[in-house]
Amino acid sequence: MDKLLTIDGLRAGYKDAVVIDGLSLAIDRGECMALLGRNGVGKTTLLATLMGLTNVFEGSIRLGGTDLRPLSAYQRNQAGLGFVPQEREIFPSLTVEQNLRVAQRPGPWNVQEVFNLFPRLQERRGNFGNQLSGGEQQMLAMGRALVGNPSLLLLDEPLEGLSPIIMDVLLDSIKALKASGLTLILVEQHAHLALEVTDNVVVLDRGRIVHQGSSEAFLADEARMSSLLGLAQSDLSATA
């Protein structure tokens, strides 16, 4: 298969502290990957490292043919990384449409395509960022990453704090992105839901990969999920 992202021997963290500790990972073009693990194991740090927002001590990160390590976050964005951070970071004083237009770069994704994916945003096109619900902000944050026409989309806990109805809208959008062939990494605490919309899963523990395989097989192995994710059996079914 054609590898889009290749991470080799990565050690990274904050100041002198190592959080990602010798991690190697490759993602095929068109692959949809869940990145799971208990709180504080380094999932967000790995995404932030891909974006150039942490200290890298060792290792390489390549996107297609490009070595990302010397590049700034802005340059990584231009090289094809789209990042939807947990904090969403939309512009509160711009309208929905303006938020999308300022992020537009050439490619198949444009404002109208985002409105087709999230009709709710079209209804809210004239509202300011700070007038949106949490779910609408999340849709806008995803839309903003999409109009940048990324080759790899990084989603950090997009379902956090949202109602089940809005979670379903976002999960449907992730399925649609997967069907369109976009490569993506989904960090989620809702393990069951993330596994249902992804091809493969990587589980981290203390900055290292402790499990890697198909999402379907992991989903069927409740005992393994429970031991690696630290969820009680009741939590696992609650997220199903």
Ligand X SMILES: Nc1ncnc2c1ncn2[C@@H]1O[C@H](COP(=O)(O)OP(=O)(O)OP(=O)(O)O)[C@@H](O)[C@H]1O
Residues in contact with ligand X by CB under 6 A are 14, 19, 37, 39-45
d(CA 158, CA 42): 17
- Closest to ligand X by CB, 36 vs 121, is 36
d(CA 166, CA 168): 5
- Closest to ligand X by CB, 43 vs 124, is 43
Give the CA diameter of the chain: 48
Angle (CA) 174 38 183, round 5°: 25
- Closest to ligand X by CB, 182 vs 203, is 203
The tokens of 232 are what? Answer: 């009680």
- Closest by alpha carbon to 43, among 151, 189, 167? 189
- Closest to ligand X by CB, 42 vs 52, is 42
CB of 101 to ligand X, least distance (A): 31
CB of 19 to ligand X, least distance (A): 4
CB of 58 to ligand X, least distance (A): 17
- Closest by alpha carbon to 195, among 234, 162, 232, 236? 236
Q: Between 134-147 and 164-179, two packed helices, what is the crossing angle to 10 degrees?
A: 10
**146 φ/ψ sector (left φ>0, alpha ψ -120 to 50, else beta):** alpha
CB of 207 to ligand X, least distance (A): 8
- Closest to ligand X by CB, 5 vs 41, is 41
- 3-state DSSP call for residue 5? strand
Taking a C-beta distance cutoff of 8 angstroms, is the pair 193, 159 a contact? yes
CB of 235 to ligand X, least distance (A): 14
CB of 76 to ligand X, least distance (A): 18
- Closest to ligand X by CB, 41 vs 114, is 41
